[in-house]
DNA sequence: GATTGTTGAATTGTTGAACATTTTCGCCGG
DNA sequence: CCGGCGAAAATGTTCAACAATTCAACAATC
């Protein structure tokens, strides 16, 4: 992807992740074109990239909108997560890749101690990314990073009730311990349990 | 994606799948623009779509090329297949979704009887697509369809040695029988065995 | 009053041309 | 043989225009 279009896509990605652009918001080509000092065509190329990541949806002749996830999408996303995360965990990983998982757990602990709610969410994403990275597949990593980006779309609401990451922190530690002990099946079992609870939680938050 | 750009992308997708555009071939914007009677910008939008599907790769300032898979890519793709196909099979499916799997098996048998090698490959793709569809996840279906499209990139060479689909046909039937019997774990086990053999085969063909 | 056309402005879709930037490649001198 | 020079070619980006579509406001009809 060309340099300028990539920059524009990154900028928009950032604004979506930060919540500056809320789900459902319309992205007008001309407005963005002026605001960012690039041509409409370049904005369009950026749109194409974001659309491929499902961060925006393109409605023909109507425009592009920041993706907004329905309750059914939540379930859909968790099906994907179960498939790739559990598969990666079952396959186990190298010493280094497990160390990366451990590092993400510790990162979460530090954030918890510092009361950094933002950092906790970030560490949790790193943890699950590290799980998938154990499989050593570039494609799987890309898929997972897109899934995590999609999840940020509804984390804004979910993270309101603080302290809900606390439980997950312990889960993550347990999963990591099982991996370090070489008991991949136990790790997978714990991960499945975590994912079930997480999905339930997210669904509950968004049903209201 | 706009209408014209979509049409162009489909056209290129077809030519790649048929082997009219071989891996590594360069796609020149101006040439395609003239040939298809669309503007360069539109061709670029089509490129963006194909790049997101990994059918072409974009090398900045150098152009776009039909993707060409290395041996390491083969392994990578099979990691993804193991993750999503096995997960879907383990989760089982509805009566109708299993019927779709059965339909793909029968489609393969008909093609075999007719000596239609092309149809055999197509039926095999349908079979594995139907397996993933059991999970009922739109995202998983999209991922699988892209993986299958990628695999067509090196099927051209592999399908040369005829009769190699014959064995797979029996495998598919056995997997389907296990699903129909409700024994998802057995189906998953057989699928894993199939995937291992298939990967070995593809690797062998491409090592030469 | 509610549904249905109609009109016109706003937005997206697509084109074509122009220019900047980068790569490619032949060529020439050493 | 080769390292650099420069022209040609291809991509990256912008700009301006027009076509096609959507959308909202308003008129018309029942």
Task: List CB contacts (< 8 A) between A138 and chain B.
Answer: 76
Alpha-carbon distance of A159 to A163, in angstroms, equals 9
**Distance from the B59 Cα atom to the nearest Cα atom in chain A, whole angstroms:** 8
Provide mean pLDDT across the span B55-77: 96
Provide mean pLDDT across the span A77-90: 98
Q: Which two tokens stand for residue A20?
A: 């500056």
> Domain map of chain B by residue range?
3-66, 71-207
Average pLDDT of every residue of chain A = 94
Alpha-carbon distance of A50 to A6, in angstroms, equals 10
Q: Residue A206: which pLDDT band, with cuts at 50, 70 and 90?
A: confident
Tell whether A137 is within 8 A of chain B (Cβ).
yes
Q: How far is the CA of B11 from the C1' of D30 (A)?
A: 50
Which residue matches tokens 């750009």? B5
Q: What is the pLDDT of residue B156?
A: 75
Q: What is the pLDDT of residue A166?
A: 77
Q: Cβ contact (<8 Å) for B77 and A139?
A: yes
Q: Cβ contact (<8 Å) for B86 and A88?
A: no
Q: Which CATH architecture has domain A3-66?
A: Orthogonal Bundle (1.10)
Model pLDDT for residues B137-162, shown as the tens digit of each residue: 999 999 999 999 999 988 776 665 55
Q: How far is the CA of A77 from the C1' of D24 (A)?
A: 37
Protein residues closer than 7 Å by CB to strand D: A 2-5, 37-42, 45, 60-62; B 26-30, 40-41, 44, 58, 60-64
Measure CB to CB from residue A44 to each of B45, B84, B135 and give the nearest one. B45
Measure CB to CB from residue A41 to each of B41, B138, B139 and give the nearest one. B41
Q: Fold for domain A71-207?
A: 1.20.120
A-B interface: how many C-beta pairs under 8 angstroms?
A: 80
Q: Cβ contact (<8 Å) for A49 and B48?
A: yes
B60 nearest nt, CA–C1'? D11
Model pLDDT for residues B162-193, shown as the tens digit of each residue: 566 778 899 999 999 999 999 999 999 999 99
DSSP 3-state of B186: helix
Tell whether B57 is within 8 A of chain A (Cβ).
no
Nearest C-alpha in B relative to A5: B48
Model pLDDT for residues B8-56, shown as the tens digit of each residue: 999 999 999 999 999 999 999 999 999 999 999 999 999 999 999 999 9
**Distance from the B83 Cα atom to the nearest Cα atom in chain A, whole angstroms:** 5
| A96-104 LR contacts (CB < 8 Å, sep 24+) | A97/A130, A97/A133, A97/A134, A97/A136, A98/A134, A98/A176, A98/A179, A98/A180, A100/A130, A100/A133, A101/A127, A101/A130, A101/A131, A101/A134, A101/A175, A101/A176, A101/A179, A102/A176, A102/A180, A103/A130, A104/A129, A104/A130, A104/A172
A64 nearest nt, CA–C1'? C12
Model pLDDT for residues B96-123, shown as the tens digit of each residue: 999 999 999 999 999 999 988 888 889 9
Which among A130, A195, A205 is positioned nearest to A168, based on CA atoms? Answer: A195
Sheet containing A56-59, strands listed edge to edge, beginning at the edge strand earlier in sequence: A26-27, A63-66, A56-59
How many other β-carbons are positioned within 10 Å of the β-carbon of residue A40?
A: 13
Q: What is the pLDDT of residue B28?
A: 97
Alpha-carbon distance of B108 to B119, in angstroms, equals 7
Query: A81, A93, A139: best mutation site toward chain B, by most B Cβ within 10 Å?
Result: A139
């Amino acid at each position: 992807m060309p340099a300028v279009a990539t920059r524009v896509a990154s900028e928009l990605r950032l604004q979506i992740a930060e919540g500056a652009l809320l789900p459902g918001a319309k992205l007008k080509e001309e407005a963005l074109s002026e605001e960012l000092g690039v041509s409409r065509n370049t904005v369009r190329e950026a749109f194409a990239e974001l659309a491929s990541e499902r961060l925006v949806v393109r409605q023909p002749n109507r425009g592009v909108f920041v993706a907004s996830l329905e309750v059914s999408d939540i379930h859909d996303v968790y099906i994907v997560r179960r498939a790739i995360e559990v598969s990666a965990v079952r396959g186990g990983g190298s010493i280094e890749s497990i160390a990366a998982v451990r590092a993400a757990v510790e990162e979460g602990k530090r954030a918890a101690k510092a009361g950094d709610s933002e950092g906790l969410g970030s560490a949790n994403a790193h943890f699950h990314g590290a799980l998938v990275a154990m499989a050593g597949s570039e494609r799987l990593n890309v898929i997972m990073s897109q899934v995590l980006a999609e999840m940020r779309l509804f984390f804004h609401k979910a993270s309101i009730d603080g302290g809900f990451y606390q439980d997950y922190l312990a889960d993550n530690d347990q999963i990591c311990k099982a991996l370090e002990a070489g008991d991949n099946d136990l790790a997978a079992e714990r991960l499945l349990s975590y994912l079930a609870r997480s999905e339930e939680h997210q669904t509950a938050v968004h049903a209201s």
